[in-house]
């Protein structure tokens, strides 16, 4: 049991207490960040005249040695240390002797762990954002390829009005663009350095906190030492943004599962992204989409957990906050895995365009357009709605679609109908007439595609 704080104790810690308290099993994940933070800290201590340049160099050499030995596997992180901070400091002292004991000058594990967690989540947040961009690019290509691919749009999962696949996918592009911007906002807000806050009340040493912040690529130091060690807002914000990403992926997965079903057959998932059944030879299951939908719960759980952990904690640091890590790490891995797999699944699936188009023709998705036709010929909308209702009933009875009715049949219900009704309620016309920005008409969609193109180019610069 290697601890940093034995001095005022007269007894060994109970083994169970030690294990309950220890965090090394999970905080070893940020050994790199811990060492990077320590190197910045001693660089600043020397620049501020608190350590000599020689001491700084010895400590930095020692820290770099630990880093490369951990990376090569020569040095193993074991549970004989309470946490990653103890591991690094104890190994440093073993390596370079007493000068290693100066590393922790003007620092507490409270500001140290706040820094490590921020450095770690900051990098992961950027990785998640890159995965979001990759998904946006795949969806953008799908939009470009499918401006003329007709399909039914649904409300209440009932066929409503015809749209195109580009329009449907475009809805998700908007969602993931918002996710991208949410992650960017969080990055900007979190990017202030807590190191130098000490245990909670700063230190008596003349630390140059601006220097530490700039060495670690932060915008500047945090401005209140009590807040610095007890702030986990950025974890909450990040998990909230991740939950929203998962909610979007989950909704999309649900649609993929429906579209891939035997009844719909709008799409076919690639064999590489499907799984079979151990008993039913005919099965090809959308397990990836189902798992993405299912895993959404664990990311929500991480958010709920940290919100609950934080709600009753008085200022400043309390050990409860050690609970910020495990579920956050799990949520990061989950979101990254889901984004990568979902992107692969979407980019390899095949569209069954004739089935989608046929489905858009059936189910009276053009009923609103038939009513609009009557309105354009002087019939008040409420009367038009009633007349088209009669047409639908008639078709249901005969098991035909509006386009299958003869002009005589139309005229029998309303004399206003003329030959041009067929053109007015054709699939192409129903979609192409809807051309205000945001609508499925080709011109409107092309405009959005070019806006998205600019967005992608901008974020890739």
Closest distance to ligand ARG from the beta carbon of 113 (Å): 4
Catalytic entry in 156, 228, 248, 401: 156
Q: Rounded to whole angstroms, how far apart are CA atoms 387 and 438?
A: 29
Nearer to ligand ARG, 326 or 447 (CB): 326
Closest distance to ligand ARG from the beta carbon of 7 (Å): 14
User: Is 156 one of the catalytic residues?
Assistant: yes
Strand partners, 164: 150
Considering only the stretches 36-44, 109-117, 186-194, 255-263, report the one whose residues sit in contact with ligand ARG under the rule CB under 6 A: 109-117
What is the contact mask toward ligand ARG in residues 318 to 357, using x (rule: CB under 6 A)?
A: -x-xx-----------------------------------
Closest distance to ligand ARG from the beta carbon of 36 (Å): 17
Cβ-contact 100, 55 below 8 angstroms:
no
Q: Rounded to whole angstroms, how far apart are CA atoms 310 and 324?
A: 9
End-to-end Cα distance, the chain: 50
Cβ-contact 221, 339 below 8 angstroms:
no
Nearer to ligand ARG, 55 or 324 (CB): 324
Sign of the dihedral defined by the CA atoms of residues 273, 274, 275, 276, in that order:
negative
Residue 149 dihedral angles phi and psi, to the nearest 5°: -90, 105
Nearer to ligand ARG, 321 or 327 (CB): 321
Nearer to ligand ARG, 27 or 357 (CB): 27
Q: Where does 73-108 have alpha helices with state H?
A: 84-96
Q: Rounded to whole angstroms, how far apart are CA atoms 209 and 34?
A: 17
Return the residue nearest ligand ARG (CB atom): 322
Catalytic entry in 68, 261, 277, 450: 277
Residue 331 CB: number of other CB atoms within 10 A? 27
Pull the structure tokens for residue 182.
């949410």
Q: Tell me how far the alpha carbon of residue 184 is from its chain's centroid.
A: 12
Nearer to ligand ARG, 234 or 317 (CB): 317
Cβ-contact 236, 303 below 8 angstroms:
yes
User: Is 85 one of the catalytic residues?
Assistant: no
Closest distance to ligand ARG from the beta carbon of 448 (Å): 45
Query: What are the Cα distances from residue 102, in Å, to 42, 105, 134, 268?
Result: 9, 6, 45, 63
**Contact set for ligand ARG, span 69-88 (CB under 6 A):** 83
Nearer to ligand ARG, 105 or 401 (CB): 105
Q: Let me know how long the chain is.
A: 461
Considering only the stretches 291-299, 317-325, 348-356, 422-430, report the one whose residues sit in contact with ligand ARG under the rule CB under 6 A: 317-325
110 binds ligand ARG (CB under 6 A): yes
**Contact set for ligand ARG, span 45-64 (CB under 6 A):** none
Query: What are the Cα distances from residue 221, in Å, to 14, 210, 212, 266, 424?
Result: 38, 6, 8, 53, 64
Residues contacting ligand ARG: total by CB under 6 A: 10
Strand partners, 154: 159
Strand runs labelled E in 178-317: 192-193, 220-221, 267-268
Closest distance to ligand ARG from the beta carbon of 118 (Å): 13
Nearer to ligand ARG, 24 or 245 (CB): 24
Closest distance to ligand ARG from the beta carbon of 241 (Å): 22
What is the contact mask toward ligand ARG in residues 420 to 459, using x (rule: CB under 6 A)?
A: ----------------------------------------
Query: Which residue of 45, 67, 113, 405 would you call a contact of ligand ARG, by CB under 6 A?
Result: 113
Considering only the stretches 7-15, 160-168, 235-243, 313-321, report the one whose residues sit in contact with ligand ARG under the rule CB under 6 A: 313-321
Query: What are the Cα distances from residue 195, in Å, to 237, 261, 388?
Result: 21, 54, 70
Nearer to ligand ARG, 305 or 322 (CB): 322
Closest distance to ligand ARG from the beta carbon of 324 (Å): 7
Query: Which residue of 109, 118, 182, 293 would you call a contact of ligand ARG, by CB under 6 A?
Result: 109
- By three-state DSSP, how is residue 428 classified? helix
**Contact set for ligand ARG, span 16-35 (CB under 6 A):** 23, 27
Closest distance to ligand ARG from the beta carbon of 114 (Å): 8
Cβ-contact 339, 128 below 8 angstroms:
yes
- By three-state DSSP, how is residue 410 classified? helix
Instruction: Please report, as ranges, the residues that interact with ligand ARG according to CB under 6 A.
Output: 23, 27, 83, 109-110, 113, 317, 319, 321-322
Residues taking part in catalysis: 156, 277
């Amino acid at each position: 049991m290697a601890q940093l704080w034995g001095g005022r104790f007269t007894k060994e810690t109970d083994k169970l207490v030690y294990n309950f308290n220890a965090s090394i099993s999970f905080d070893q994940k940020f050994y790199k960040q811990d060492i990077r933070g320590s190197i910045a800290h001693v660089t600043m201590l020397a620049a501020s005249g608190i350590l000599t340049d020689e001491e700084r160099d010895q400590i930095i050499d020692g820290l770099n040695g630990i880093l490369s030995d951990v990376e090569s596997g020569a040095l193993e992180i074991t549970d004989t240390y309470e946490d990653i901070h103890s591991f690094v400091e104890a190994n440093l002292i073993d390596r370079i002797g007493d000068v290693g004991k100066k590393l922790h000058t003007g620092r507490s594990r409270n500001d140290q762990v706040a820094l490590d967690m921020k450095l770690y989540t900051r990098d992961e947040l950027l990785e998640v954002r890159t995965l979001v961009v990759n998904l946006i690019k795949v969806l953008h290509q799908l939009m470009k390829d499918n401006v003329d691919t007709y399909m039914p749009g649904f409300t209440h999962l009932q066929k409503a009005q015809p749209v195109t696949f580009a329009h449907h996918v475009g809805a998700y592009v908007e969602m993931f663009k918002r996710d991208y911007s949410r992650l960017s906002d969080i990055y900007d807000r979190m990017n202030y350095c807590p190191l130098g806050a000490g245990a909670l009340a700063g230190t008596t040493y003349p630390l140059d906190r601006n220097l530490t912040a700039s060495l670690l690529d932060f915008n500047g130091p945090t401005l209140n030492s009590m807040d610095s060690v007890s702030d986990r807002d950025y974890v909450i914000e990040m998990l909230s943004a991740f939950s929203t990403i998962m909610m979007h992926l989950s909704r999309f997965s649900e649609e993929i599962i429906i579209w891939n079903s035997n009844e719909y057959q709008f799409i076919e998932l690639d064999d590489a992204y499907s799984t079979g059944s151990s008993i039913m030879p005919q099965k090809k299951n959308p397990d990836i989409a189902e798992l993405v939908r299912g895993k959404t719960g664990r990311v929500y759980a991480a958010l709920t957990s940290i919100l609950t952990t934080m709600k009753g904690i008085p200022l400043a640091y309390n050990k409860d906050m050690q609970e910020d890590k495990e579920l956050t790490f799990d949520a990061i891995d989950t979101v990254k895995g889901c984004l990568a797999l979902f992107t692969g699944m979407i980019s390899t699936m095949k569209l069954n365009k004739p089935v989608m188009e046929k489905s858009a023709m059936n189910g009276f998705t053009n009923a609103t357009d038939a009513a609009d036709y009557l309105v354009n010929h002087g019939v008040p909308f409420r009367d038009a709605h009633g007349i088209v209702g009669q047409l639908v009933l008639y078709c249901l009875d005969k098991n035909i679609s509006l386009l299958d009715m003869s002009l005589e049949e139309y005229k029998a219900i309303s004399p206003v109908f003329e030959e041009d009704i067929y053109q007015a309620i054709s699939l192409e016309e129903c979609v192409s007439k809807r051309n205000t920005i945001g609508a499925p008409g080709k011109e409107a969609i092309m405009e959005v595609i070019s806006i998205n193109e600019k967005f992608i180019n901008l974020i890739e610069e």
